[in-house]
Structure 1
Amino acid sequence: MSGNTLGKLFCVSNFGESHGPAIGAVVDGCPPGLPLDEADIQFELDRRRPGTSRHVTQRQEADQVEILSGVYQGMTTGTPIGLLIRNVDARSKDYSNITDTFRPGHADYTYWRKYGERDPRGGGRSSARLTAPTVAAGAIAKKWLTQTYGVTVRGYMSQLGPIPIPFESWEHVANNPFYAPNAQIVPELEQYMDQLRRDGDSVGARIEVVAENPPPGWGEPLYDRLDADIAHAMMGLNAVKGVSIGAGFDCVSQRGSEHGDELTPDGFLSNHAGGVLGGISSGQPITVSLAIKPTSSIRIERQSINRAGEPVQVQTLGRHDPCVGIRATPIVEALLAIVLMDHALRHRAQCGTETTNP
């Protein structure tokens, strides 16, 4: 009911606050016998962590993960896996000016209206800092999916603010701070971000994530559709305002003769469905696109109110990402992996087979 757990059989419960002593996750439902150590998880956390370039928040967090339970002699035991990441570089004083006011576009106001209390330090529970435990849990799911089914999950940035990023090659994605699949455009992106930081403003981004080699048959009819659960998980990521599967909103202008993916003895001729038909995986790549809004915490003064309902001007200090989309790629990969692993386990539980293909 509290909304902090994702999944049914592979369950990830996220805990902590941005400026608390630690953040973390409890991962329940991972099958036994998966080789796992901190290095497997740390690799993914290092891709997401802050302070890695001048274009993201300069908060210096090592994001060093500790495995507290569920692993013995390098193997998962089938019991809950406790993951802990300590906060070491929080500067709570930066938020003293918003204790009684609300930042426009942020969750300050709604958290206060829901709970009657809120932690203003770094956004508290609504901070993007809480995506680190998601990435840690996703690292487990990614490894299990690869070893069990040969499924790989990877993503990239396809647009930064007004700048579209043409896809050139996957090899470029890991070699720049934007996860851009095009090396030639990186200088333009850097110039744009440098000016944005000088302006004290923020911008949004578009992220693409793909799961390759998924078997057909994962997902359920109607309310537990695979694509519905993917959208649900992605909308749980801070700042996501739109999710599309396959052709997404482009299908509005397509005709049925174009959108419907034709089948041949050798397979599908297109993938407008994004790898999901009727809520069940088709065996094609699962493709997801996300729209991420501009960061709400900016240095430009904006109108708001205080707890008494009086008008105020709000300027957010502290260290923030001018574009939260820059560090989002590892997070959306983790979320997709978590959903896919959950559905893989649910398919095995219901059908008793790895795949229903003859």
Structure 2
Amino acid sequence: MGNSFGRIFRITTFGESHGLGLGVIIDGCPAGLTMDEAFIREELQRRKPGQSKITTQRKEEDEFQILSGVFEGKTTGTPIGMVIMNTDQKSKDYSHISDKFRPSHADFTYFEKYGIRDYRGGGRSSARETAARVAAGAIAKLMLRNFGISVQAYVSQVGDIKLEKAYTLLDLSLTEENIVRCPDKEMAEKMIAFIDGVRKSKDTVGGIVSCVAKGVPAGLGEPVFDRLHAELGKAMLSINAVKGFEYGSGFEGVKMRGSEHNDAFYLEEGKVKTKTNHSGGIQGGISNGEDIYFNVAFKPVATIMQDQESVNEAGEPVTVSGKGRHDPCVVPRAVPIVEAMAALVLADHLLISRTNKLHV
């Protein structure tokens, strides 16, 4: 029913924005992985609401509890169950839209599909659900560490304020040094001021999160329909508010000639490398050992603190007034979500690749 993701390293999330809590079942995680709970907590803290003036002021500490699949600090190979309880729901903030459809939200489509909807913060359609993904993604990251694979994302654009530098020219260790999660200090200050201005005008704005995976071995990805970039695209497009995905040269690649775009091969210490990486680390849907990099576009948050025209469940024209606590721009908190989904894809395909080879 669309609540599970992955083939071998497989997750199923559950819970709603204003329910008792959220959770995830992780099946297929190998046994013997050291469970670093401090790291999982750190990842959840990066996504949690209320962390700065440019995010929603809902206060959730996002403390988690591991229910199963771990013994004496190591995974047992059985399903890992995790829960994150909600503690700061203010459902009354949504009573005024109990029968109204908010523009560009999932209210209408959920009602059409199910004939019923949880109007409290959007229920299952709320980005609150991504807390469970980040928890699962943290475990995927711990697994990838053992193979020398890292995944790091950062904010590269807010509105029309764009960081033009390639990731290779940035110090990505500086990403967490500011509240917008842009590794360029000067650009970060401009983005923060811009988002704060949008917030004060009772509006919202979108942006782009860029991500790079390093240390990915050649050979991950499945032809024809499960190409690695297709899997990454599905993972990113499953995130709330995502409107676009591009990897490698992306849409800019259409401006180039084949003679410019082709990545020439050469041999370095017995290993095949490419002189350029317009392919974004993926060729024929399979990783080639180079860095995998991609961009994810997020739309402006749909809830704005302004009156908007809409209709109610009876089809009557109504006015929807924005209330509650919402992000003026989602991208600062989306950074760990993008990383989590990328890590889940890579962990899954790393395990799949091991089943495709006969070791004698």
Q: TM-score range by the shorter chain?
A: over 0.9
Partner of 2:158: 160
Partner of 2:254: 252
Partner of 2:315: 309
Shift of 1:38: 2.4
Q: 1:339 aligns with which of 342, 345, 355?
A: 345
Partner of 1:102: 101
1:245-300 CA-partner distances (Å, limit 9, x unpaired): 11111121111111111111232011111111111000011111110000001111
C-alpha contact 2:303 2:326 (8 A) present in aligned 1: yes
Name the % identity. 50
1:152-178 CA-partner distances (Å, limit 9, x unpaired): 000100001111124442132010111
1:212-268 CA-partner distances (Å, limit 9, x unpaired): 010000111110111111101111000000001111111211111111111112320
Query: Which residue type is aligned with residue 328 of structure 1?
Result: A
Partner of 2:282: 276
Partner of 2:16: 17
Residues 1:184 and 2:182 are matched in the alignment: no
1:105-164 CA-partner distances (Å, limit 9, x unpaired): 1111100000000001011001010110000000000110111x1000001000011111
Partner of 1:150: 148
SS in 2 for 1:190: helix
Q: 1:349 aligns with which of 352, 355, 359?
A: 355
In structure 2, C-alpha distance between the alignment counterparts of 1:11 and 1:257, rounded to whole Å: 40
Shift of 1:37: 4.0
In structure 2, C-alpha distance between the alignment counterparts of 1:52 and 1:166, rounded to whole Å: 27
Shift of 1:308: 1.0
Shift of 1:184: 1.5
CA RMSD of aligned residues (A): 1.0
Give matches, 1:262-273, under 5 Å. Answer: 262-266=264-268, 267-273=273-279
In structure 2, C-alpha distance between the alignment counterparts of 1:344 and 1:191, rounded to whole Å: 41
Partner of 1:356: none
C-alpha contact 1:38 1:66 (8 A) present in aligned 2: no
Shift of 1:68: 0.5
Partner of 1:238: 240
In structure 2, C-alpha distance between the alignment counterparts of 1:310 and 1:293, rounded to whole Å: 28
Give matches, 1:34-113, under 5 Å. Answer: 34-113=33-112
C-alpha contact 1:38 1:67 (8 A) present in aligned 2: no
Q: 1:288 aligns with which of 265, 283, 294?
A: 294
TM superposition score normalised by structure 2: 0.96
In structure 2, C-alpha distance between the alignment counterparts of 1:239 and 1:299, rounded to whole Å: 18
Partner of 1:228: 230
Partner of 2:329: 323
Query: Which residue type is aligned with residue 322 of structure 1?
Result: P
C-alpha contact 2:141 2:343 (8 A) present in aligned 1: yes
SS in 1 for 2:185: coil
Shift of 1:192: 1.2
C-alpha contact 1:155 1:330 (8 A) present in aligned 2: yes
Q: 2:263 aligns with which of 261, 276, 285?
A: 261
Query: Which residue type is aligned with residue 78 of structure 2?
Result: T
In structure 1, C-alpha distance between the alignment counterparts of 2:301 and 2:263, rounded to whole Å: 37
Give matches, 1:18-33, under 5 Å. Answer: 18-33=17-32
TM superposition score normalised by structure 1: 0.96
After superposing the two structures, state which structure 1 stretch, 344-353 or 9-18, moved more.
344-353
C-alpha contact 1:166 1:181 (8 A) present in aligned 2: no
Give matches, 1:110-149, under 5 Å. Answer: 110-147=109-146, 149=147
Shift of 1:352: 4.1
SS in 1 for 2:57: coil
SS in 2 for 1:215: coil
Runs of at least 5 residues in structure 2 that lack an aligned partner in the other structure: none
Shift of 1:40: 2.5
SS in 2 for 1:289: strand
In structure 1, C-alpha distance between the alignment counterparts of 2:11 and 2:75, rounded to whole Å: 15
C-alpha contact 1:166 1:182 (8 A) present in aligned 2: no
C-alpha contact 2:177 2:183 (8 A) present in aligned 1: no
Structure 1 segments of 4 or more deviating over 3 A? none
